[in-house]
Amino acid sequence: MHHTLYIVGTPLGNAADWSPRAQQVLAAAPVIAAEDTRVTARLLAHCGLSATRLLTYTDAFAPKKAQRQAEILAALEMGDVALVSDAGMPGIADPGCELVQAAIAAGHRLAPVPGPSAVVTALAVSGFCAARFLFLGFLPRQRSERQQLLRQTADEPGALVCFEAPHRLLESLADLVAVLGDRRVTLARELTKEHEEIWHGGLEAALTLAQTQTPRGEYVIVIEGAAAPPPRDDGLWPVAQVREALAIMAQEGVDSQMAPRLLARLSGWRKKDIYRLQVAERDAAADASA
C-alpha cells in the first residue's frame, strides 16, 4: 500500500521559527526519518512533542545507507513517514533527496510542509536583488574541482549562493578571489542562532577577514553575479573564445610568450590580461592532473 512522505522543514537554529503545521505533522507521524535522530529528538523535546519512532535515513557507509533507506521505504508501506533534516528543508544540498527519489520511484505520495531555507534566508539579507540566482550547494573539496566549477559559473549574471564549512572557508574564499575577482559578497554564519553574524563587503576583504579571524559555524556565501558583458561592437572577444584560442595555440606548439602577443592583436584584450588567463588555465590543468 502507498502512503505519504511528508517533507518537513525544520528551524535553521531558532526553534521559534518552526511552524505549527510542521509540529502537527511530526506529532501525528508514526515514523520520522531524520538526518540525525539526536538532533531531531532534542528539537521535538524543546517543543514538547513526544518522539515517535525515529529512524536515520543516511550514513557515510554506502551499504548501511542503502539498508536504512530500505527501512524507511518499508515503513512507508505500513503508514505515513515524515522526513526532516537537521536544519532547513530536506533535500537541499542534503542526502534526503535520495530518499525522496526512492519514494517517488515506489509510487508514494509526497507532501511538502515548507519551512526555513538557509539559501533564501541568506539571499534576503544579502542586499542583492535576487530575481535570479544560482545555488552551488557545498563547494567541492578539491581545489581543481572547486576552481573548475567557479570558472563554469563566472559569467552567471544572477547571484551565486553556496554553503561552506568553517575549516574550508579560507581556501574557498581564496579561489573565489582568484577566479571571480573582487566582487561584492555576503558571508552569513549561524543564521537565526545566538551567534548569528552577517557580513557585507568585497571578496578580497572577506579573504583578509578569514585570514585574521578563525571562522566558526556553517557559512552561506552569497556572491554578486557577473557584470553585464561589454557591448559586442567594442571588438573584444568573450573570455571563452580567448580560452579556446589559447588551448589551440598550445596544441599547435605556439610559444607561451608569443601566444598572448598574437592574441592581443586579434582579440582586443590587453596582453597582460591574456597572460594572467594563460597562467590560471595552466595552474588549473596542473591541479587536475596532480
* 79 pLDDT higher than 60: yes
Q: Determine the pLDDT at residue 8.
A: 97
Q: Determine the pLDDT at residue 220.
A: 97
**Are 163 and 184 in the same domain?**
yes
What residue numbers bound the domain in which 266 lies?
A: 232-289
**Are 107 and 209 in the same domain?**
no
* 233 pLDDT higher than 60: no
Q: Determine the pLDDT at residue 238.
A: 87
Summarize the confidence of residues 90-107 as an average pLDDT: 91
**Are 249 and 215 in the same domain?**
no
Summarize the confidence of residues 234-242 as an average pLDDT: 83
Question: Is the sign of the CA dihedral 180, 149, 239, 264 positive or negative?
Answer: positive
**Are 184 and 202 in the same domain?**
yes
Whichever domain contains 129, its CATH number is 3.30.950.10
User: What gap in Å lies between CA 275 and CA 257, rounded to an integer?
Assistant: 8
Q: Which of 90, 116, 142 is the last residue of a domain?
A: 116
Q: Determine the pLDDT at residue 50.
A: 79
**245 and 267 in contact (C-beta within 8 Å)?**
yes
Q: How high does pLDDT run on average in the chain? A: 91
Summarize the confidence of residues 246-263 as an average pLDDT: 89
Length of the chain: 290
Beta strands in the chain (DSSP E): 4-8, 31-34, 53-56, 81-84, 109-113, 133-138, 159-164, 184-189, 197-202, 219-223
Summarize the confidence of residues 170-191 as an average pLDDT: 95
**Are 270 and 181 in the same domain?**
no
**Are 184 and 109 in the same domain?**
no
Q: Quick one: cell of 169?
A: 572557508
**Are 110 and 123 in the same domain?**
no
Q: Determine the pLDDT at residue 131.
A: 85
Q: Which of 52, 84, 116 is the last residue of a domain?
A: 116
Which of the pair, 96 or 232, is modelled with greater confidence? 96
Whichever domain contains 58, its CATH number is 3.40.1010.10
Q: Which of 203, 223, 243 is the last residue of a domain?
A: 223
**Are 12 and 112 in the same domain?**
yes
Summarize the confidence of residues 259-287 as an average pLDDT: 86
* 289 pLDDT higher than 90: no
**Are 24 and 93 in the same domain?**
yes
**Are 89 and 184 in the same domain?**
no
Q: Determine the pLDDT at residue 107.
A: 93
Radius of gyration of the chain (CA): 24
Q: Determine the pLDDT at residue 283.
A: 79
**Are 147 and 43 in the same domain?**
no
User: Would you place residue 231 in the very low, low, confident or very high pLDDT band (cuts 50, 70, 90)?
Assistant: low
**Are 8 and 112 in the same domain?**
yes
Q: What is the pLDDT of residues 118-154, one digit of tens each?
A: 999 999 999 998 789 999 999 999 999 999 999 999 9
Summarize the confidence of residues 109-117 as an average pLDDT: 95
Name the amino acid, one letter, at 137. G
Domain count across the chain: 3
